[in-house]
Every structure is written in C-alpha cells, then in structure tokens.
A and B are shown apart, each in its own frame.
Chain A
Amino acid sequence: MKDHVLDRIRNIDDLPTLPSVALEVLSLAHQSDVTIQSIAESIHRDPPLAAKVLRMANSVFYRRGDRKVDTLHHAIIFLGLAEIINITTSLSVFSALKSRKTQEVSVRESFWDHSVATGLIARHIDKKLGMRTMGREFVAGLLHDIGKIILDQYFHQEFMAAYNMSIEKDRPMYETEMEMCGTNHMEVGYFIAQKWNLPPYLADVVLWHHQPSQASSREMAALISMANLLAKAAQLSCGDRMSFVLADQEAWKVLKERGLPVDELDIERITFEMESIGDQVKSYISTVMEPSDKEQDNG
C-alpha cells in the first residue's frame, strides 16, 4: 500500500488549491508587458488578499524607512514588482496550506517555523554572498518543504512515523519518508508545485533542495539547501536533527563552483546571528496568519 502514496496523492480531488488571483499574478509575472496597473488590479480582485499584501508591505520585513504605504500601487512602486509577486505567492500558499483539521499530534507549528526560518536565513546568506536573488530566495525558503504538509495532511500516520523515526534514528527525513510512505516530500512537493503552476525556479528548489547540483536553478537550490541546514542548526527543524559539516555539503560546492565567495563567509558568526532568529520567525508568522485564519478552518 505504501508504494502508492504518490499515486494516491495524484488522485486526491480535494488537494489544496492556490487562490485564482495568485495564479493570475504568477502568470502575469512571466509576461513582458506586465504593468503596475495590471498587477494591482489583479490583486484587488481578492480584497482580503489585497489587504494582507498591504499589511505585509508595511511589516518590519519589507517596510523601508518611515513612510507608510497605503495603496497597492505605492507598494508595488516602493518594493518593486518582484517583491510584490513574492509576497502574493507566500500569502497565497500560506492560506492554501493553513491548518485544516486539528490533529492530535501535528508537525505544523514546527513546519512553519522551519519554513520561515529557512526563508529568512536564505535572505541573510543571499545578502552576505551578494547573490541578488531579489527576494525570490525568501519564497523559495518558505516553500521548499511543502511536500511535508501534503504528506501530513493526507497520510498523517505514515508521515508521523517517518518524522519520529528520523528523530529517533538520527536519519534524514527523505529516507524515512521513503520507508514509511514510499515517496518523499520532494516528490510530493514537486507534484503540487507543478499542479499549482509555480514558477520553475520554485518547483526546482522543492525537488532538489537536498541535491542542488541536479537542479536547473542550481544557485537557488544550493542557497536554500544551505539555509535549510542552518535552520536545523538553529533548532528550527521540522524532522531530523542531524549534525553536518557545511563545507562538505553539495550546496557549498555548488555555490563555490559558481564563483560565490563561500570560503570568505564567517560561518560561526552567521550561526550565532541565526540563534536569535526565532523572534523574527514568530513575528513573520503572526503578520501572515490572522487569528481569523485558524477559526475559518474549523468550519
């Protein structure tokens, strides 16, 4: 039975869906003649989403200077199209995957903590390495593990068995998932990313964040791979708590091959800096998730 988890996921007809506005914004982003007006109009068609985008634009994560942004139009001018698309994508995914049923034991809290931490750490390293990924690294970090949420939602028992086994036996989640579910969070996540028409770089990161040298967007996959490990080191893990040598990781080698100055990074210092990331993670999550989000789900 466990061999068919991925097949069974393919056949589930109530899989979470991305709001239509998010899909529209993502597809607009690929067009060369996209205008601020068209993006703003598109987001406005989903008023709760528009309100959340504005709130995010004014949050400590995106706000620049003292000036408050009070229209979407302004938000797009101040933050740029790329960031607005990132924010819209993140918010949409959050709302699509937010807790549906209250299960007795759930990894959801640690899932979101880990995901946001990975995004924030990716942003931090991106800056240190001067990679200029324009905020895409944050979304990629946020979404790299979406397969876990799907497994948890539809194959809760098997997934929890894999989760507990990875901690007890000190083994990677993708291995124990394979044993317990016959698939892993990368495959499942990739399936969802394609179903949702997420941009190729995101699908790529979802599939290859444990083997970044296989990815088409190798730099991005490697960056997320590294941020993923550092989030675990900062004790914001969703699964295994394995130790590692960063400089021996595939991600490190990929970034080095691409000419990025990884050897100059002060890894100790970055690690110390990331120890206090928990507060930022909590603040991001409370900005994105309104209390009403949780109540709606119970209906």
Chain B
Amino acid sequence: MDESLSSSCHKMTDETFILLRDFIYEQSGIYFGDNKKGQLEARLGLRLRANNLADYDKYYYLLKYDPNAARELRSLFDSVTTNETSFFRSPPQIQAFQDKVMPEVISRKEKQSEKQIRLWSAGCSTGEEPYTMGIVLRQVLNDKGTSWDVKIVASDISEKALRSAKAAVYSDYSLRSVPPEIKREFFLSEGNAYRIIEEVRNLVDLQYLNLNDTRRIQIMKGFDVIFCRNVLIYFDDEAKKRFVSQLYDCLNHGGYLFIGHSESLHNISRAFKLVHFPGALGYKKE
C-alpha cells in the first residue's frame, strides 16, 4: 500500500501548499509564489519519497515537529535551490542592472571624475553570472569602455566550479536566454559549445573564497554592485545577518546588492534601501 502510494504522483492541496510555502519562507527567506506550486510539488515529491511519506501534510508535520527536522531542512533547501545556473538568469534583475543600476553608478562616477568600476559575483559557480555581468557592462560602457578600469571579482567555494569558469566554454543550454546578437558578439562557437570572448573573460578575476570566512570577506572592499544570488539559503539566520552586514560594508555608497530573484532580506537587514525595479528588487547602500 505504502509502496504504491510513494511511487504514485503526489498531489499537494492548496492548504498544504500555503503551509509549506510559509514555512519555507520563514526558514529561508525564499518565496514560492502561487504560480510556483507545481515546481514546489515536484521538488518536494523527491523528499516525500526519500522519507517514505504518503502525502505532503505528513512531510509538513515532519519539518515542523520531528526531532530530525533540522537535518531534513538541509535536504529540503538543497532540493528547492536549483543548482543550475545560466547566462542572463532572472532577466528582470539583469535588465535592472543594465538599464538602471549601471547607468546610475557610471553617471555618479563621471561626476566625481572617477573611472573605476568594481563588481563582485559572490558564489559565481561555473561563471555564467560574472560573464553575464561583463557582457552587460561592455554594452553599457559601449565605445567609452576602454577608458574605464573594470574588474569583476568572481568567487566560489568549489574548485571544480572555478576550473569550469576558467575554461569559459559553455553548452547551448547555458546560453538559452542569450539573445542571438549577444551570442554573435560575445561568444566564439567551438563545435557544439561556445567560448566567451577574451575581452569579457579578462574582466573577470576568479577567486577561491569561502563566504563563511569573515576575515577574508573583511578585506573585500569598494564594490559598486554585488550579485549574491541563491547563496544565503546555506547560512543559518545568525550567519546570514553577519554575512549580509559584511556585504553592506563591502559596497561603496550608492552601491547595490542583488540576491536571488525570490529571496528576501526582511528580518535579516534593515541597513539597505529596498529598491523596486520592474520585476526585480535590489538593495541599495546609500
């Protein structure tokens, strides 16, 4: 009986969806909108099977009341965070970065006769994010690009991911959201794969970095924009507060922090100004 249940496709009721969604938001700051019910169902379905549970209600009770809840929570987080990454991921955020944030940063710097831009991709994985930042920056700076001193620090805790980022060769799938004209301008085709052009690759400085290493983070200074997307989920509340306050210190005045598209800093930090962009949120240090 149990076997047939666990191998069948489980359905999540609306009530249970709301319980689980609120629980996950409370625990992780990641929000599953009404349109993401199917996604949550699919991902938690794996956890249901792993725990041999008959339905999502029982899974909710496990998370809420079981002595082993803390351990299950880790597995839950792993299953709700997609480890996949791609170029131009979460397009409204990239659009905000391109249309609003970079022009604002550049015009402020021009007024101060400063020509240096520092960006940081914290948790850069295999490099899609920092190279996306590089491509966008090239486009925003356009022909005046060469006169600016630009560096994108890209850090990760995985040596393997960093090696892959260094190779800078990507599959079609990684490039699925890249507009054709950008593909032509910024990538070299190599058989079935694409290599990012040198000009963009040279903007990116890959570094091994453990974001838990508070002393190392302390020396990261002077950034105009930090992308730290879908990373905070790996910290507990206290560590999250400490780390986010460090990120605040890493930013220049007028700088921005972007976290994951449906991640929230509510209850974590009030230091930033929450900025609404069309379809995206950013956190500004004034």
Contact = CB atoms under 8 A, between A and B. Distances in A.
Interface of A: 170, 229-230, 232-235, 237, 241, 243-248, 266-269, 271-273, 275-276, 279
B276 interface: yes
Contact of A243 (B29, B33, B265, B276): B276
Interface in B26-62: 29, 31, 33-36
B222 interface: no
13 contacts: A230-B276, A232-B278, A233-B278, A243-B275, A243-B276, A244-B275, A245-B275, A266-B264, A266-B266, A268-B29, A268-B266, A272-B264, A273-B33
B276 A233 contact: yes
B273 A267 contact: no
Nearest to A235: B279
A241 B278 contact: yes
B274 interface: yes
Contact of B279 (A233, A248, A268, A273): A233
Given A232-B276, A244-B275, 14 more contacts: A233-B279, A243-B96, A243-B275, A245-B274, A245-B284, A247-B273, A268-B31, A268-B264, A269-B31, A272-B33, A272-B264, A276-B33, A276-B35, A279-B35
Contacts of B279: 233-235, 275
Interface string B1-35: 00000000000000000000000010001010111
A278 B228 CA distance: 28
Contacts of A271: 276, 281
A248 B264 contact: no
Interface string B158-183: 00000000000000000000000000
Contact of A268 (B35, B36, B265, B273): B265
B33 A267 contact: no
Contacts of A233: 276-279
Interface string B259-280: 0001011100000011111110
B64 interface: no
Nearest to B32: A272
The 5 lowest CB-CB distance pairs between A and B, nearest first, are A268-B264, A272-B31, A233-B276, A276-B35, A276-B33
Nearest to B277: A243
B100 interface: yes
Identify the interface centre among B33, B34, B265, B278: most chain A CB within 10 Å of its CB: B278
Contacts of B100: 170, 243
Nearest to B259: A268
Nearest to B31: A272
A268 B276 contact: no
Contacts of A241: 278
A237 B277 CA distance: 12
Nearest to B268: A268
B276 A229 contact: yes
Nearest to B280: A233
Given A268-B266, A272-B262, A245 B35 contact: no
A268 B278 contact: no
A237 B31 CA distance: 23
Contacts of B284: 245
A276 B275 CA distance: 19
Contacts of B266: 266-269
A251 B26 CA distance: 28
Contacts of B265: 268
A246 B31 contact: no
A246 B274 contact: yes
Given A273-B33, A276-B34, A246 B278 contact: no
A174 to B, nearest CB: 18
B275 A268 contact: no
Nearest to B282: A243
A244 B281 CA distance: 10
A86 B8 CA distance: 47
B264 A269 contact: yes
Contacts of A237: 278
A32 to B, nearest CB: 42
Which among A235, A246, A275 has the highest number of chain B CB atoms within 10 Å? A275
Contacts of B264: 266, 268-269, 272
Contacts of B36: 276
A298 B123 CA distance: 57
Contacts of B281: 268, 271
